Structure 1
């Protein structure tokens, strides 16, 4: 009985001591954590505010103003946005951006899904995966320059066509063909990246599911549709979101590939990013930072809307296996 009373009193004393410690500000470890919270968070928060929030807020304000980079800022209201509404170059840039988002994205994921099915059962797939990922391991500037050499009149693409007995195309880089060559290059560059993401999800799928499907006589398409795709859907959703953000911000590849030395590319190959850049850095030397900021805000709104829409469309119940 005496032992039971001691155990009961000890049990009661522990919560009482805990409550007393909480009343005094928590345990020493909790108080130490609170003391270290601000010294760790404040520097990162200050950098974030200085580098991201402040420029973003200034861009919002500048989109309603006229400014050439020096002198006073003139408030013009929605004039910059009205100019975008009637600007045919902006319309074509928006169309090119959406074409890259939908058309290039569809081809990229089509090839990525196809490579995922092929590589799943291929020996040496890690080596092949590293090869197709190579364009993403190299600077976008170097890749765009290489892509330009490939499509020159005497480049490797025309040499391959001649070897196959097909007439060469001497005007790959002509103004009317330039944007489509850029789209082909974007498919080539991004296919390996998204194949790598999807293959990382496929590698986690248990092999016995495919073995059971083989015993049932399932075709490759049925295995992909009923096993591979549902179980890697989380990776598909993430990849779609990444692509929605990346496609709208593509700049370096187009600028270096299609632009001459010291000048922007032809307007037929512009995207929203190139339009914003060209408005801010005019070849004539006249900077229109207000119009550039307005185009940037349109791009930002488009990114937010498409990201939310993509997340909504790709939302599925998580499957456990």
Structure 2
């Protein structure tokens, strides 16, 4: 250690300890290990976003010459009732569907916590995650069409005028219901992984204090699995912007392209670029995709901050 004296104060300088061989090896291998992932990230994530940003300021049908439009695509989106409907439907899936998914997931988690054979039940609940949403759409169409299995059973039970499940005014309700059914198993599995880490002694102590089932959930299960809940909430928020195949199939059940009242932002992006009933415009599609990306990013960040809590250490 060396020191230098200046008028009025003493300045001490310490030598930096020499790096160990392991630290030098880590520095040498940092970029070789990071470079492949970084290159892939730039090529398949950053570059497409930059290109979409540039394309959103132009008009292009994929064949003819690209024409500059400035911010006109964004202005048109604001005044497009189909796009505003798509935003509302996406928000509906996010809020209403999310509330139902987490309510069901927590309820199932509490029931499975002490159930014998809960691992098998969890695998069964997780199975819908492995199935493509198109299958759910086709299956639901077969079940709920006017001459489908559900209406046939209702007819045998004496219901002469069964509900029109796949009528346009009921499609969003059906879409949310199927989305909830398909996603509940995944979030139940994730929440269970966090709940299983909670020592049983916490629940035993709560029972000795006279806590009810709701009290044990509120004061033990929820606080000690809050980090997992936060991750699940962000995952659900991100997944809602990608609801596409299910809406496409449900809309097709009306005999044509999906009606405007069932559009989500993902379907709007697709229809703007590949629509068969109007002029294709990749510029409008890119603008809609970027608006959706910005909105979902803002919602995810705000949600993350709202759900932030001090971590609780389990002992």
Q: Same fold (TM over 0.5)?
A: yes
Pick aligned residue for 2:72 from 71, 79, 83: 79
Q: TM-score, normalised by structure 1?
A: 0.85
Asked which structure has the greater CA Rg, the reply is: 1
Pick aligned residue for 2:263 from 266, 270, 290: 270
Change (3 A) 1:307 1:259: same
Give 1:123's aligned residue.
Answer: 116
Change (3 A) 1:262 1:80: farther
130-139 vs 78-87, which deviates more?
A: 130-139
More helix by share: 1
Pick aligned residue for 1:150 from 138, 143, 150: 143
**Would you say how many aligned residue pairs link Structure 1 and Structure 2?**
299
Give 1:215's aligned residue.
Answer: 208
Change (3 A) 1:135 1:168: farther
Pick aligned residue for 1:44 from 13, 37, 50: 37
Give 1:5's aligned residue.
Answer: none
Query: Does the 8 Å CA contact 1:264/1:278 hold for their aligned counterparts?
Result: no
Superposed counterparts of 1:33-72, under 5 Å? 33-72=26-65
1:252 and 2:245 aligned: yes
* Structure-2 separation of matches of 1:132 and 1:164: 29
CA displacement at 1:71 relative to structure 2:
3.4
Pick aligned residue for 2:83 from 83, 90, 104: 90
60-69 vs 251-260, which deviates more?
A: 251-260
Give 1:136's aligned residue.
Answer: 129
CA displacement at 1:184 relative to structure 2:
0.6
* Structure-2 separation of matches of 1:35 and 1:215: 57
Give 1:179's aligned residue.
Answer: 172
Superposed counterparts of 1:228-307, under 5 Å? 228-259=221-252, 264-284=257-277, 286-307=279-300
Query: Does the 8 Å CA contact 1:152/1:170 hold for their aligned counterparts?
Result: no
Query: Does the 8 Å CA contact 1:153/1:171 hold for their aligned counterparts?
Result: yes
**CA-to-aligned-CA distance 1:29-49 (integer Å, 9 cap, x gap):** 655555544444333333322
CA displacement at 1:301 relative to structure 2:
0.5
Give 1:13's aligned residue.
Answer: none
**RMSD of aligned Cα (Å):** 2.4
CA displacement at 1:163 relative to structure 2:
6.2
Q: TM-score, normalised by structure 2?
A: 0.87
SS in 1 for 2:288: helix
Query: Does the 8 Å CA contact 1:263/1:283 hold for their aligned counterparts?
Result: no
Unaligned runs of 5+ in 2: 1-14
SS in 2 for 1:249: coil
231-240 vs 43-52, which deviates more?
A: 43-52
